[in-house]
Amino acid sequence: MTTKVDLLVPEKERATVHQAIDAAWDDLELPSSLTEGLMPHRLQAIYEIRALTIELRDALSGCANDVATALVLFDNELDKPGEAVSRTAQALCTIVDHRCFRGWSRRQQTYFVDTAIDLADRYDFFLSFSNRPYKAEPDSVLDVNYHNKNFIKSVLSDVGRSRWSTENLVAPAVLNIIESYSGLRSHGLRGYYYPAHEGNGATIKEKIVSALERSRAFVQVLHNEMFVGAKENNFCCFEFEMSLKRQLPEFYIHAIPSTERTPPEGVSVLYQPWMNRVADIGALELAPTVQNISGVVGAMRKRVLEAVASGVAKARQDLIDRAPLS
């Protein structure tokens, strides 16, 4: 199998590994001829592959969808998303290639390879937000941070004083909550988070397009300042429009209370399609947490998990569920 996932064992030792896989699959002991002369770390790798082979074989026994089952095992063996693919996940690809592909159709083989690459390489979601200030006074707390103060504090620890006036802290708080969601997986999700739009407009837009092309879902934290100013300099609007072109699942979060929100008639006609889309899809409303009222902060975190994170996770799970049966 040719993928971006490098095989665990060098090519010169591939034949030995294949024999070890076959012996494990057929419940045979490893012949001494396979292990003689191997360095200790290679010998350990052989025994790890043997154990993984038996786990995969047993998982596939009587299951409804071999490809989906193999992908679940692969997904659960990935290290933290965004880091190097784990040794175990690499080994699993070797086993699937050598044993499972024998009985799988070309369609099933291709789906496994393509989906394994997708699971390992792509972002689960793209997080869109703005750091635009509500007030011009130096050191004033951003409006979006003021309304969500205790929600932010409940998620992010040790936030420096200066960040309250320069960064939209709801965004990293939402990122943290969504990435912590594991569902049926052994680890959480992976989001694209671009905290500072640095460089000229063309360079920034190239980065945005590239990240959206590698994302499965679009999450946007909304507040008033996103819907003002010239459209050509509004990267949040550009991200919104690019997500529509990509037809990504959409999730919107209102970070400003409705009583403080700019009414639709007060928004430039340039942004009306954007606001209309949000209204059509629906958005999660974050209740104000200026005061640390018992239960409200926890309820908001739970709603982000249930309304947004679970939907993002579903986009990932759908890849596995669509695996062909033949």
pLDDT per residue as tens, the chain (326 positions) = 434 344 445 566 677 888 888 888 988 888 777 777 777 877 787 888 888 888 888 988 888 889 999 998 888 877 655 555 677 888 888 889 888 998 999 999 999 999 988 888 889 999 999 987 765 555 578 888 999 999 999 999 888 888 888 889 999 999 999 998 876 565 688 899 887 555 556 788 888 999 999 999 999 999 888 888 788 888 999 999 999 999 999 999 999 888 888 777 777 888 899 999 999 999 999 999 988 887 999 999 999 999 999 999 999 899 999 999 99
Which residues, 6+ apart, have CB-to-CB distance to 284 below 8 Å? 251, 252, 253, 254, 303, 304, 307, 308
pTM of this prediction exceeds 0.75: yes
| Alpha helices (H) along 252-309 | 272-281, 296-304
pLDDT value of position 11? 64
Q: Which amino acid is at 17?
A: V
* Rounded Cα distance, 308 and 20, in Å: 44
Domain ranges of the chain: 11-121, 125-320
Q: What is the CATH number of domain 125-320?
A: 3.40.50
Residue 123 dihedral angles phi and psi, to the nearest 5°: -80, 145
Nearest one of 221, 303, 289 to 254, comparing CA atoms: 221
**H runs (alpha helix) in the chain:** 14-25, 32-35, 40-60, 66-77, 87-98, 106-121, 143-147, 149-155, 163-166, 170-179, 201-213, 235-246, 272-281, 296-304, 310-321
Question: In a 3-state reduction of DSSP, which class is residue 82?
Answer: coil
pLDDT in the model for residue 7: 45
Give the separation between CA 272 and CA 265, rounded to whole angstroms: 9
